[in-house]
Structure 1
Amino acid sequence: MTVLLPVRGDLLCLTRVGFSLIGCVLLTFGGCKKNEPIDEAKAAEKTTADFPQITADIFKPMDGGIELSPEEIMGRNTWNLWSGGNQHFWNQAAQDSFGLMDLLKMLDNRKFPRGERFKTLGLVNEPGFRARAPTEPD
């Protein structure tokens, strides 16, 4: 009888370890859910023909005076206007960037001129810094 007790103790220990491992595996794989965002265009059965490219040169002020071919214009328009079907990335980047996107918007001089930042945003300009002269390049 005493010979069976050590074996029985080892068996119980192995059983506990086995059940613990099985439980961990089940929790690990049971908690893994494929969470892919829904592609709205595919869900609506749209094709690339439903999204024609803009051929107008709407970003001409960005060119710095150079002339672009129609293909280059369409490429730049696509780059600037489309998020590559990854709007969920941009939404998450805006939510999880701890205000970085908002900071970049606030530093845009077109919306919040440097002289009015304290009045509109409560931001203090760095002492000794000056605003860019209108004739200076960006």
Structure 2
Amino acid sequence: MMKLITDIGNWLVQSGALVTLAVFAWKYLKPVMVEKQKHAKTVQEKELLGLVNSLADNAVNSLVNAQGVTGPDKFKEATKIVGGTLADKGFDVHRETVEHAVQAAYEKSDLTPTVDPDKAPQTGVVVHD
């Protein structure tokens, strides 16, 4: 029985059938593996972006009541907080991505005045038809 298995193994190697089988399998497995890798990378990027946005929201909200600090200084401080936290955790995120997240958090926060779209601005000018 062992001799038969050895003979079959030798025949596969000598005839090139093993190499052909390996190449054939690789052509079908490689695209599947590449797609799985792309999907995993996309999921990781989405999760990282969610983390960046969450950190930005927290940083901006922590600065809402900061007295004596200008808007641009609050933006710089929030960007510094988010960037520093990400760097401490070992994440490499572009500064521009952090700034966009902080800007979006700023626009959602109490630091940005809200305007009622149903209410006309009061200008003091009376318009007659």
Q: Is the TM value for this pair above 0.5?
A: no
Which of 1 and 2 has higher RCO (CA within 8 Å, sep 6+)? 2
TM (norm. structure 2) is 0.30
Between Structure 1 and Structure 2, the one with more helix by share is 2
